[in-house]
Amino acid sequence: MIPEALAGKRIALTGATGFLGTALVEKLLRSVPECELVLLVRPGRRGAAERIRREVLRNDAFDRLRESLGADGFAAATTQRLSAVAADVSADGLGCDAEGQELLAGCDIVVHAAAAVAFDNPFDLAVETNLLGPIRLVELLADIGATPHLVSVSTAYVAGNRRGFAPEELLAESHFAVAVDWRAEAASARRSRDAIEDESRTPERLDEFAGEAAAELGAAGTAALSAKREQIRSRWVRSRLVEVGRARSASLGFPDAYGLTKALAEAALTETRGAVPLTIVRPSIIESALAEPFPGWIRGFRMAEPIIISYARGLLQDFPGTPEGTLDVIPVDHVAAAVCAVAADGPAADGQPRVVQVASSEVNPFRFEDLHDWSHAWFCENPVYDERNQPISPPRWSYPSRKRVQNSLERARRALETGEKVLSTLPIRGEKAGVAADFAEKRTQVERALSYVDLYSSYVECQATFGIGELLALHDALPPEDRASFNFDPRRIDWHRYLTEIHLPSVIAQGRLKTAPAARAGADRDTRRRAAVLSPQRHMAAFDLENTLVASNVVASWGWLATKRMPTAERARLVARTFAEVPKLLDLDRADRSDFLRYFYRRFAGAPVEQVAEDSFEMFSDLLLRQSFPAAVRRVRHHRALGHRTVLITGALDFVIAPFAPLFDDIVCASLTRTRSGTAYTGQLATVPPTGESRAEALLDYASREGISLAESVAYADSTSDLPMLEAVGFPVAVNPETKLATLARRRGWLIENFKLAPGGPRKLLPLAEPSVRR
Amino acid sequence: MSPRTASATPRPGFVLEVERSTPPILFHHGEGFRLERLPAGRSRVIYPPSPLEGLPDPSGAIRHALEHPIDSEPLPALLRPGMRLTIAFDDISLPLPPMARPDVRQQVIETVLDMAAAAGVDDVHLIAALALHRRMTEAELRHAVGDRVYDAFAPSRRLYNHDAEDPDGMVLLGTTDHGEEVQISRRAAHSDLVVYVNINLVAMDGGWKSTATGLSGYQGLRHHHNVATMLKSRSFMDQANSELHRSNWRQGAVLAESGPRVFQIETTLNNNSFGTSGSLSMLQKREWEWTARDRATFLAMQGGLSVLSPAARRRAFQSWRAPYALTSVQAGEVSAVHKVTTENVFRQQLVAVEGQTDVLTMGLPYICPYNVNSIMNPILVMCLGLGYFFNLYRGRPLVRPGGAVIMTHPTPWEFHPVHHPSYIDFFEQVLADTTDPAEIEARYELRYATDEWYRHLYRTSYAYHGVHPFYMWYWGAHALSYLGRVIVVGGDRAAVRRMGFAPASSLSDAFEIASDTVGDRPSVTHLHLPPFVMADVS
């Protein structure tokens, strides 16, 4: 009897916060009432005990136990039977303190379930966790002189890409195995990290990252660009390390670094375990629970979930694989039960490492074609709905070769990328720029599909059959009571029922997919975001001027003011001169907004103060109001009516925006110094104009001076050069965004407003003042 | 003294009974036209009288009117050195379309200024009496008063637009026995003499409305520019039955008692809006009298208009200057002058019509008082149709109670961002909520009327006052409560629906839609204007 065999035992467990770990903790607490558990978890910020409480015990896996014991009973049982030890498998000696070591020393059984399970981890991370983690564990056991039964959870896929039968034997004994020195692999992985980190800091690479950052953000200011460049750099390092892992794994016949590092770990453990008795448990692909703690229980997103969800959303139009191939899936409660049985059964009597595989393909294969057909039928019955409340029809897969799927996805990706590039060079805004954002979104989806195909197709193409003789022998030796409460017999799984009644509903619920059309059509995302922006709780609404309130710019207002009192012939010359300068001005503006303003505003040198002030009011009607967005003006007034502080923050000059003063509580803008007599402008800026980063700073200054919380504030702007300001507030709004900002805003879930000019309003071809009537 | 009037008798107005042989009838349709066949045997068309002959010597007539006023001493006798003289004049909303140079205001003002100069009056201000309308631009002022007057007075800031929101610029003269406050421009109030220069286009203009409304502000206007007054004015074009008229006259009485002396100069123009010859002359002819040349010109014009962009079409129409002629000028005491003026207006516009009709049709032109050099937005379409045109009756409305009005106008969802900012918000916020005038008045008026931003735009830019769109909506209140259906043919569907009207794509569709209120074979009356016509319904 398993509960009796484990009664009074102290069992240590790594990886308790993981999927299998949580299932094990729950199973042992519930079904083995008299064992004690020592959970080794990374302490994190809150400490090991608190992490256990928050990240393990609060999981819905424990609802069943909590219900049967009552809240108090549950608290008492866990306090009494669980102890937490701060330990990190990627640190030498696991970073255990003396107390932890003592607890560990008193353990009869150690279950090692900690792993970096993602298939696309950087190689060095996979090596540190999956390969060196268990080594560090046995070294620590040796140091403290403990020899508990070590049950190490590995994976059936240590068999690599082999076809045919994969028995429950040590890899060294298998005639497929390639002998590789695990120490050399570990050392090489660490060196790869160093080399790639170094390479990422070479001037050439840094230039490349700078280029990418600029292409994504435009003139967003030093701070934003530096952050973006560093983000791109570390992403690059990561992806290179993933690539290194994939390449090395492929060269040794493994689908990915996970399988390779686990295989190396088995070899290393066998070699370094010393006197520690070892059992290796190799589950195949672990999926949601068949029955315990409740059918469909799942933690986090497992291997198949992203694929299922992408399929349901219609994003994976096709997938490689062999229809008659099997997908070796095993429910998590089977694995947990099998680990309990292994622990209760003890190590092999001969002291040799024991291998137990927990898999289904040998006795009850789950055919890939069945998975697809049943899923297709199920999603036809239970469709997922898109943003427009339309049911998505699931695609039918034709199982082409991997290469073909990859090629077609790659072609789509390249086409979208080109489209995006072309669009980003066009001077488009607002809804049209939204097309670029659509492209970017589609490209991301295609890239994701591509990565799924890269990552997962070897699993669905895998034609290995994992032998489970040991597992069945263990099962068949159990008394009937144990067979009932520790079910790990894959022969009894009804895959159709499991998929359609347990797994798919659970995945759809976990993925929060829309399974019914939204009840209220009006309550879409934009409406919700707008309501948040216009909530009375907000403190302040900051507005940019150009292209946010008015479709005009500093060049236009200068042109108007300059031509206001100019004879016709001179006007023509001025227009010609300004046109000739446009490319230079654009370049300057693209590079740095405040340099541009500094340069451009020199044109106001000598402008008479009084006359400019008077003309500016005429310009307000003749140029700015004509070019204004009524909905934007209404929005400012709406914020004001809600009691929000409204602030105009712009690089435009004070006299230009003076007529807008009654619209705002405050205006932060640029101003020019005056000549000694005070009657004319010098053309020099009095202070740094509030654009780009200095705009964010001006906003920060303003907010701290006025005691306003930026987290509770809204900012409206149109371009990535306003990114620092948008990022500084809790509620950014992109107004008529240019393509880069449109893409960014979409990705970040910001509200996008497309404010339009008054329909049918009079337009000006050139921003010039009307020639004066004869005097 | 009786004023000089033109002697020749023009062709009077006419009510045509539509028969099978009647050619299609011209409907104005914004910046365009439609030719529509009206159902034979049950339709009639009301045509305005032909243009009256103009006075042979306008400047002589003006001088004569000033020297021989009604119930007043001659103007020269009222002028003396050292006095403070204010000349107020009607704004851009009159006449419609704007008249070709020289504007009659220029002719009158020049004569008044000559007399003032002769009398040695130095302190003269000229004020565009625009109440809560938008300010006139330099070009518009020059057109109204002439370059000579503009250049002499504007640079020294003695010619300017009335500013009803100037905190220092307005005074309260008193309150009528009905509790109506009388508010007027401070400069006018503190003048020794106010000379008001009026153009009387329709019967509601002029009289005490010139000063009591034109030089007033929200505080004074709200007492008659409201839903209750409009519902009691049947119609506001008919002074005897207009509560609007009575209220203005009550305010006028206070003005006469406690305000400055007012010397009223009123003028009437003939209805020669489109010329008796020339490219648009067929617009004021009766269709069966169109010559082959008229037909060809009309077709060419329709063709030309169809290829123009909306903006170009608007520019083309807005540049039209009407060759009006002065038909009468009278000066002196306000009420007495206005009585004569009204007779002259009626002489040009009144047509006797027998009985009411089930359906009233009208073609709305490109212009109304509030979109000169601007855009006729949907609210103005409503105001022109249900406010002005519907009310062009004396006696009884042309259409029976619960009947239908069918108007043709493209009603684009378009607004002038400078001239009509509060209209945009009114359309987007107020009308999206309710179209009921009383509810709109109760819930929204004060907020718009006292809004700082609208006030700022009214004072410093060229915007109608924040409350102005409300008045436009109230103007139609009587029609809205009286009619069973309002249908707009050829209008922007969303814009038409926003106002609570039914959109129709053709006139026959409109009759189909109207059939639920007026049946299958309704009687139809078409009000053929502009040029202006006023129905005297028995």
Q: Do A625 and B418 touch (CB under 8 A)?
A: yes
Using alpha carbons, select from B381, B382, B356, B378 the residue that is nearest to residue B367: B381
> How many other C-beta atoms can be found within 10 angstroms of the C-beta atom of residue B460?
17
Give buried/exposed letters for A526-556 (b at 16+ CB in 10 A, else e): eeebeeebbeeebbbbbbbbbbbbbbbbbbb
A639 touches chain B (CB under 8 A): no
**How close, in Å, is residue A597 to chain B by CA atoms?**
27
Is any Cβ of chain B less than 8 angstroms from the Cβ of A565?
no
Report yes or no: A651 and A669 within 8 Å, Cβ to Cβ. Answer: yes
Domains and CATH numbers, chain A: 1-180+253-284+328-362+467-487 (3.40.50.720), 192-251 (no CATH), 302-325+365-463+489-519 (no CATH), 529-753 (3.40.50.1000)
pTM of the model: 0.77
The answer to whether the beta carbons of residues B244 and B252 sit under 8 Å apart is no
Inter-residue contact B531 to B365 (CB < 8 Å) = no
Nearest residue in A to B425, CA atom = A634
pLDDT over threshold 70, residue B150: yes
**DSSP state, residue A502:** I
Residues A284, A335: Cα–Cα separation, whole Å: 9
3-class state of residue B332 by DSSP:
strand
Task: Report whether B490 contacts B34 (CB < 8 A).
Answer: yes
A522 pLDDT exceeds 70?
no
Give the 3-state secondary structure of A3-22. HHHHCCCEEEEECCCCHHHH
Residues of A in contact with B450 (CB under 8 A): none
Give the residue from B159, B239, B175 showing the smallest Cα distance to B212.
B175
**Candidate from A236-245, B185-194, B448-457 with smallest mean pLDDT:** A236-245
CB B480 within 8 A of CB B495: no
Alpha-carbon distance B340 to B342, whole Å?
A: 5
What's the CA gap between A283 and A337, in Å, rounded?
12
Q: Which residue type does A775 have?
A: R
Q: Which two tokens stand for residue B11?
A: 């062709």
Contact A702, A708 (CB under 8 A): yes
Tell me the three state secondary structure of residue B223. Answer: coil
- Buried b / exposed e across A664-681, counting CB within 10 Å, b at 16+? bbebbbbebeeeeeeebb
Which residues on adjacent β-strands are paired with residue B25?
B36
Residues of A in contact with B461 (CB under 8 A): 617, 620-621, 625, 659
Inter-chain CB proximity A662 and B456 less than 8 Å: yes
A274 exposure class (CB count in 10 Å sphere: 0-12, 13-18, 19+): exposed
Taking each helix axis from N to C end, the angle separating A222-251 and A257-272, rounded to the nearest 10 degrees, works out to 60
C-alpha span between A755 and A735 (Å, rounded):
7
- pLDDT value, residue A206: 93
Instruction: Give the residue among A700, A714, A710, A721 at the shortest CA–CA distance from A753.
Output: A714
Count the Cβ atoms, other than its own, within 10 Å of residue A63: 15
Q: Which B residues 360-379 touch A at CB under 8 Å?
A: 375
DSSP symbol at A174:
S
Distances (CA, A) of B261 to A32, B161, B500: 108, 21, 46
- Residue burial B488-507, b: 16+ Cβ < 10 Å; e: rest: bbbbbeebbebbebbbbeeb
Q: Please give, rounded to a whole number of angstroms, the shortest distance from the CA of A413 to a CA of chain B.
A: 41
Mean pLDDT of A510-534: 76
Contacts of A628 in chain B (CB under 8 A): 417
Mean residue pLDDT of chain A comes to 85
How large is the average pLDDT for residues B491-520? 96
Contact A759 B418 (CB under 8 A): no
Which band of pLDDT confidence, cut at 50, 70 and 90, is reported for residue A523?
Answer: low
The 8-class DSSP code of residue A735 comes to: E
Q: Alpha carbon of B395 to those of A287, A750, B331, B400, B428: distances in Å?
A: 87, 61, 28, 12, 37
Confidence check: pLDDT of B466 > 90:
yes
Mean pLDDT over A662-676 rounds to 92
> Is residue A59 exposed (0-12), middle (13-18) or buried (19+ Cβ within 10 Å)?
middle
What pLDDT is attached to residue A761? 78
pLDDT for B128 = 97
Residue B528 reports pLDDT greater than 70: yes
Residue A402, classified by CB atoms within 10 Å of its CB into exposed (0-12), middle (13-18) or buried (19+), is middle
Count contacts between A and B (CB, < 8 Å): 69
Helices vs. strands in chain B: H and E counts, helices first: 22, 20
Q: Tell me, what's the pLDDT at A774?
A: 47
Q: Would you call B421 and A626 a contact, using CB atoms and an 8 Å cutoff?
A: no
Q: Which of A58-72, A124-138, A514-528, B115-129 has the lowest mean pLDDT?
A: A514-528
Q: Which ipTM did the prediction report?
A: 0.88
Rounded to the nearest 5°, which phi and psi values hold at A347?
-70, 170
Most confidently predicted of A88-92, A467-471, B343-347? B343-347
CB contact under 8 A, A761 and B452: no
Which is nearest to B421 in space by CA: B382, B379, B476?
A: B379
pLDDT, tens only, A342-379: 988 888 888 888 999 999 888 888 888 888 888 888 88
Peptide bond into B102 cis (omega under 30): yes
**pLDDT for A624-634, tens place per residue?**
999 999 999 99
Distance from CA of A759 to the nearest CA of B (A): 5
Set of chain B residues whose Cβ sits within 8 Å of the Cβ of A663: 453
The Cβ of residue A57 has, within 10 Å, a number of other Cβ atoms equal to 21
Give the Cα separation of A267 and A273 in Å (integer): 10
Q: What was the pLDDT predicted at B534?
A: 94
Cβ proximity of A296 and A288 under 8 Å: yes
SS3 assignment, position B217: coil
- Beta-carbon contacts of B239 under 8 Å, excluding residues fewer than 6 positions away, are B203, B204, B207, B245, B342
Tokens 């909303």, residue?
Answer: B93
Q: Does B358 touch chain A (CB under 8 A)?
A: no
User: Where does the pLDDT of residue B409 fall: very low under 50, low under 70, confident under 90, or very high at 90 and above?
Assistant: very high
CA atoms within 13 A on the CB side of B171: 13
- Quick one: which of B422, B483, B470, B464 has its CA closest to B442? B470
Measure B454 CA to nearest chain A CA, in Å. Answer: 10
The C-alpha atoms of residue B391 and residue B396 are separated, in whole angstroms, by: 9
The token pair at A301 is: 């997103």
Residue B316 contacts A, CB cutoff 8 Å: no
How do residues B233-280 score in pLDDT, each as one tens digit? 998 899 999 999 999 999 999 999 999 999 999 999 999 999 988 888
Closest CB to B416 among A617, A620, A758: A758
Query: Which residues in chain A are contacts of B432 at CB distance < 8 A?
Result: none
Please spell the DSSP secondary structure of A546-615, one letter per residue: BTTTBS--HHHHHHHHHHTT--HHHHHHHHHHHHHHHHHHHHHHHH-HHHHHHHHHGGGTT-BHHHHHHH
pLDDT in the model for residue A773: 53
> Which residue from A633, A659, A758 is facing B415, i.e. has the nearest CB?
A758
Whether the CB-CB separation of A402 and A453 falls below 8 Å is answered with yes
Q: Name the 3-class secondary structure at B399.
A: strand
pLDDT at B4 over 50: no
Averaged pLDDT for residues A55-72: 88
Mean pLDDT of A223-242: 90
pLDDT digits (tens, 9 = 90+) for A699-739: 899 999 989 999 999 999 988 888 888 988 999 999 988 88
Burial tier of B203 (Cβ tally within 10 Å: 0-12, 13-18, 19+): buried
Q: pLDDT tens digit string along B61-70?
A: 999 999 999 9
**DSSP H helices in B217-309:** 218-221, 227-231, 243-258, 292-307
Pairing between strand A464-466 and A540-543? unpaired
Type of residue found at A436: A
As a whole number of angstroms, the distance between CA B394 and CA B239 comes to: 9
Q: How many helices (H) and strands (E) in chain A?
A: 30, 19
The angle subtended at Cα A261 by Cα A257 and Cα A267, nearest 5°, is 150
3-state helix, strand, coil in chain A (%, to 5): 55, 15, 35
Q: What is the pLDDT of residues B120-147, one digit of tens each?
A: 999 999 999 999 999 999 999 999 999 9
